[in-house]
Amino acid sequence: MTLDWIQPADRLRSLPPYVFARLDELKARAREQGLDLIDLGMGNPDGPTPSPVIEAAMVAIQDSQNHGYPPFEGTASFREAITRWYHRRYGVSLDPDGEALPLLGSKEGIVHLALAYINPGDTVLVPTPAYPAHFRGPAIAGGNIIDLPLNAENDWLIDLAAIPDIVAERAKVLFFNYPSNPTAATAPREFFEDIVAFARRHEILLVHDLCYAELAFDGYQPTSLLEIPGAKDIGVEFHTLSKTYNMAGWRVGFVVGNRSIIQGLRTLKTNLDYGIFSALQKAAEAALNMPDSYLDGVQTRYRTRRDFLIEGLAELGWTIPKTLATMYLWVPCPPGIGSTDFALSVLEQTGVVLTPGNAFGRGGEGYVRVSLIAECDRLGEAMARLKQANIRYA
Ligand SMILES: *Cc1c(COP(=O)(O)O)cnc(C)c1O
């Protein structure tokens, strides 16, 4: 029985339809039929959490000091581990008391930041395509979202000059993400300098999502927003342990940057949650303390898969430029077919799951995202099935 006399709140009903729903249905049906699915649709790393992290968790879980409510702002030792890691990786010094806040995964923090800072009707600038939380968060908050269209011609970079002054003057928050999910685009340091100058000029809160900085290849080192002088006055940056450390299920991320913005997010969160289980904060500390040689191994794994898949796709007619970071390839649909239809048809014909680009907003139409979350033998099997089904870029 549907409860037609109890309607969900407007904020829930106003959310755009969930593109993954039909895909999930088809996936379930294919599994029931015993089809061997190759799921390259998720952003879920396929490897296990590194053993030093698991070992630290097992020790910490036995310590009864970790069994109570954790401190709202996270444990001091995890916050110190965050700021030490940040300094090691980016050369930026941060105060562990107030400039770093642990989160129940960065998605939680991104959406709550939107709730903490966006009033109904506030103008919010969000690129399209984008990671869904970057537009769903502002949508839940009732913000007036202005799309910043990205495309191949501008290398999937935000064109700041194309934002009309009147829009920039009204805007309160801008979300962005390089290296990017879903496009795998990276932004040069000059872009970060420009966007900081733009945000300072127009008094806009800059929210940067740097989830993929450690998954970079070929000597490329992504830029942190906070490396740019003056960025801390107007910006915050989100990080996650989900991707780099194969910890997606543990729910650990953090935000760094402007003290007063982080304080606002913390105030909201003290009314919502108690933060991360203290034993998991110990484990997360162990992750951040692992030597850079661990990161080298992760990077090699994804780079090998990237090269393998780019070559496989080339045999099927696709020219995909070498990505410098992330665990994704952003692949154009063959001419004349839309994202959803292409992803569904690939799934039905081959059992290979791809994410339709329009799941990332209007700007993702015409593309699918392929995740590098299987070993090369499985990726090879996926390519063989596409070839067999005569799915090509032509
Ligand atoms: C995976 C991902 C996240 C979410 O990470 P969690 O910390 O697991 O919530 C955030 N932003 C981007 C761009 C992502 O791809």
3 state DSSP class of 123: strand
Closest to 271 measured CA to CA, from 116, 111, 68, 119: 116
**Nearest-atom index, ligand 1, CA of 105:** 7
Which DSSP symbol is given to 202? H
Q: Please state which architecture CATH assigns to domain 51-288.
A: 3-Layer(aba) Sandwich (3.40)
Q: Which residues line ligand 1 (CB under 6 A)?
A: 43, 105-107, 131, 177, 181, 209, 211, 240, 242-243, 248, 253
Domain boundaries, the chain: 16-45+293-388, 51-288
Going through the chain in order, the beta strands assigned E by DSSP cover 38-39, 100-103, 123-128, 144-149, 171-176, 205-209, 235-240, 253-257, 328-332, 352-353, 355-356, 367-371
CA of 378: how far to CAs of 14, 37, 382, in Å? 39, 10, 6
Pairing of strands 367-371, 253-257: unpaired
Q: Is the pTM of this model over 0.75?
A: yes
Query: How far does residue 384's CA lie from ligand 1's centre (Å)?
Result: 30
d(CA 8, CA 111): 19
Domains 16-45+293-388 and 51-288 share a fold: no
Query: How far does residue 200's CA lie from ligand 1's centre (Å)?
Result: 26
Query: How far does residue 178's CA lie from ligand 1's centre (Å)?
Result: 12
d(CA 328, CA 69): 37
CATH of 16-45+293-388, one of 3.40.50.720, 3.30.70.360, 3.40.1790.10, 3.90.1150.10: 3.90.1150.10
pLDDT in tens, the chain (394 residues): 567 788 888 888 778 776 677 788 888 888 888 889 999 998 889 999 999 999 999 999 999 999 999 999 999 999 999 999 999 999 999 999 999 999 999 999 999 999 999 999 999 999 999 999 999 999 999 999 999 999 999 999 999 999 999 999 999 999 999 999 999 999 999 999 999 999 999 999 999 999 999 999 999 999 999 999 999 999 999 999 999 999 999 999 999 999 999 999 999 999 999 999 999 999 999 999 999 999 999 999 999 999 999 999 999 999 999 999 999 999 999 999 999 999 999 999 999 999 999 999 999 999 999 999 999 999 999 999 999 999 999 8
